Amino acid sequence: MVMELYGPGKPARVLLVEDDARAALELGEMLRSVWDRGLVVSHTRHVADAVQELADHGATCVLLDLREQPALDVLAQLSNASPATPIVLVADGDDEEVGVAAVRAGAQDYLVRSELSAPRLARAVSYAVERKRSEAALALQALHDPLTALPNRALFLDRLRGALDRSRRTGGPVVVLFLDVDGFKEINDTLGHGAGDRLLNVLADRFRGMLRPMDTVARFGGDEFTFLFEGLESEEEAALVAQRINQSAAVPLSLGGQQRTVSISIGVYIVNDPEEEIDDVIRQADTAMYRAKESGGARFEVFEDVMARLPGPRTHLERELRQAVERAQLRVHYQPRVSFTDETGLEGFEALVRWEHPELGMMEPVEFMSIAEETGLIVPIGEWVIGEALDQVERWRESRPGVTISVNLSARQLSDSHLVEHLAAAMRDGGHDPSVLCLEVAEGALEAAPELAMRQLAALNELGVTLAIDDFGTGTSSSIMLSELPIHILKIDTTLVSRLGLDGADGDSVSDAVELGHALGLKVVAEGVETDIQLAQLRRLGCDGAQGFLFSEPMPEEGVLSLLGTS
């Protein structure tokens, strides 16, 4: 029986660690009687020599047979020094315990010295080699991503740890890139998961193809890839690599039967301090990647310390806000708007968003609106609010026909080129009558970009929705500009209303606003009405409607349902 121990042309090396010279000779003979061709048997007496031999030449298998030294200790040392090399232990007793202890200490098999024979020895060696191979294959699987066969997150982090260790000793630079596919979700949603998988595989192949053997690219999770480079000389070199990766991703590919071009966002982090925690290294690269995304994607950003110096809670909050929609943490509260002229009194509701933060509790817009606005997150958040509000109002209209819903539009939303298209689709898909929706745009938002605002409002008006100017009185919009806007309602800002009824205060500015509104044919509504005195004055001044704590605070949908008497 001749067992295959080595591939064609490649001699097998068996390292005998044996402290008895005669026994060493005998074991060598036994091995050669089975594998005559090309078998190299080397022999050492001491563990230190064995470690050196393994480091210099490696071995197909180690055969460990010691009488004068503690065999299990040596076994553990060898297995640590060369984890990939199978080891067969020759031991004295034949009790089970020795065998179990041997395997625990790192042996693949063990043999009882008194029962040694050439075939037994050959079988043990072959078995040990085979077992090590399958262990290695399993380990490989556990450390690789099954889809792309790239190293997975665990292996990447392990290699990063190794690179940082080396950098501590040699001072060599370590660079980490964090990469995320732009619009991956959209590809998955529109072309299916098969296309998404294919895209990841194509990218994996491209990335693999452009790396040097010592570099690592890993699939970190989802559509995220990470790269590890050692020995890049400068920031410029790192930037060049990032650029090349970016270009490689930009080559068109066919997805779901279509030619597509995808883009990626890359964060580059050059580790300055090898003592840095692994998690921090990843986080910095990730932060830089987010910057690249925020600047529109299809680019890379190099992490700079200023980012780390940004106030922690704010960037953290920003990260959480990104996920708030997906994680269903946003809520809409509704504040009633009453009409002075209409018999029914209750005219509609204003939708006001809240964020139910898992730790911080219910957060009001003032706590997160500026982040939403600056990052552009207000666009998806606003789309969600509109969808939610439209669904609700349709339910309410079953018991109270004619009730409308108002939703706020920020400056950023108003300048979003997809706004009109999105609203039209929401109306059509939900079968909504456009007149149920009123959009409120703050006076200040109009002033930021008057011409764009004008065009957008005209298009929204075409859709048939009602338009209101919010926070009126806080800005400086001229009556001429107002007269050119296709608007229907003027909402007088809280600050003007709050001055009503105060000692010595006249109602001049409110009165002017009402007059202007009526002159332009608009309905005038007062905001932030808190007292009966304010209410009385507003009525006297000819206001058409009002909103405020005097009537009701914003409430969750259950509150609306009970107000309408439907629950």
Using rule CB under 5 A, residue 408 touches Ca ion? yes
- Rounded to an integer, what distance in angstroms lies between the CA atom of residue 127 and that of residue 159? 30
Using rule CB under 6 A, residue 409 touches ligand C2E? yes
Nearer to ligand C2E, 369 or 485 (CB): 369
- Rounded to an integer, what distance in angstroms lies between the CA atom of residue 538 and that of residue 542? 6
Nearer to ligand C2E, 91 or 407 (CB): 407
- Rounded to an integer, what distance in angstroms lies between the CA atom of residue 276 and that of residue 270? 11
Using rule CB under 6 A, residue 383 touches ligand C2E? no
- Among candidate residues 430, 429, 419, 365, the one with its CA nearest the CA of residue 392: 430
Binding partner of 107, given ligand C2E, Ca ion, none, CB within 5-8 angstroms per partner class: none
Using rule CB under 6 A, residue 549 touches ligand C2E? yes
- Which residue pairs, CB below 8 angstroms and at least 24 apart, start in 367-373? 368/317, 368/321, 369/410, 371/314, 371/317, 371/318, 371/321, 372/321, 372/410, 373/410, 373/411, 373/412
Name residue, tokens 């109009």: 446
Using rule CB under 6 A, residue 530 touches ligand C2E? yes
* Site for ligand C2E, residues 492 to 521, rule: CB under 6 A: 494
Contact letters for ligand C2E, residues 305-344 (x by CB under 6 A): ------------------------------x---------
Largest pairwise CA distance in the chain: 118
Stretch of 124-132, 280-288, 476-484, 526-534 lying at the interface with ligand C2E (CB under 6 A): 526-534
Binding partner of 356, given Ca ion, ligand C2E, none, CB within 5-8 angstroms per partner class: none
* Site for Ca ion, residues 503 to 532, rule: CB under 5 A: 527
Q: Which of 470, 473, 487, 547 binds Ca ion (CB under 5 A)?
A: 470
Using rule CB under 5 A, residue 443 touches Ca ion? no
- Rounded to an integer, what distance in angstroms lies between the CA atom of residue 125 and that of residue 134? 14
Nearer to ligand C2E, 59 or 363 (CB): 363
Measured from the CB of residue 367, what is the shortest distance to ligand C2E in angstroms?
Answer: 9
Q: Which of 65, 223, 443, 471 binds Ca ion (CB under 5 A)?
A: 471
Q: What is the DSSP string of 306-342?
A: HHHHS-HHHHHHHHHHHHHTTTT-EEEEEEEEEESSS
How many helices (H) and strands (E) the chain has is answered by 23, 21
Q: Is 286 helix (H, G, I), strand (E, B) or coil?
A: helix
Burial track 493-523 (b if 16+ CB lie within 10 A, e otherwise): bbebbbbbbeeeeebebbbebbebbeebebb
Query: CA angle at residue 220 from 216 to 225, to 5 degrees?
Result: 65
Using rule CB under 6 A, residue 20 touches ligand C2E? no
* Site for ligand C2E, residues 81 to 100, rule: CB under 6 A: none
Residue 394 host element (H or E) = helix 378-399
Nearer to ligand C2E, 202 or 550 (CB): 550
Which two tokens mark 557? Answer: 């949908």
Measured from the CB of residue 366, what is the shortest distance to ligand C2E in angstroms?
Answer: 6
Is residue 225 within 8 Å of 217, Cβ to Cβ? Answer: yes
Q: Which of 65, 180, 347, 440 binds Ca ion (CB under 5 A)?
A: 440
Using rule CB under 6 A, residue 353 touches ligand C2E? yes
Q: Which of 365, 376, 434, 475 binds ligand C2E (CB under 6 A)?
A: 365
Region of 16 please: left (phi>0), alpha (psi -120 to 50) or beta: beta
Using rule CB under 6 A, residue 370 touches ligand C2E? no
Measured from the CB of residue 470, what is the shortest distance to Ca ion in angstroms?
Answer: 4
Provide the angle, in degrees to the nearest 10, between the axes of the packed helices 71-81 and 47-57.
20
Stretch of 138-146, 379-387, 463-471, 551-559 lying at the interface with Ca ion (CB under 5 A): 463-471
Residues that bind ligand C2E (CB under 6 A): 335, 351-353, 364-366, 369, 378, 382, 385, 408-410, 413, 440, 470-471, 494, 528-530, 547-549, 554
Q: Which residues bind Ca ion (CB under 5 A)?
A: 408, 440, 470-471, 527
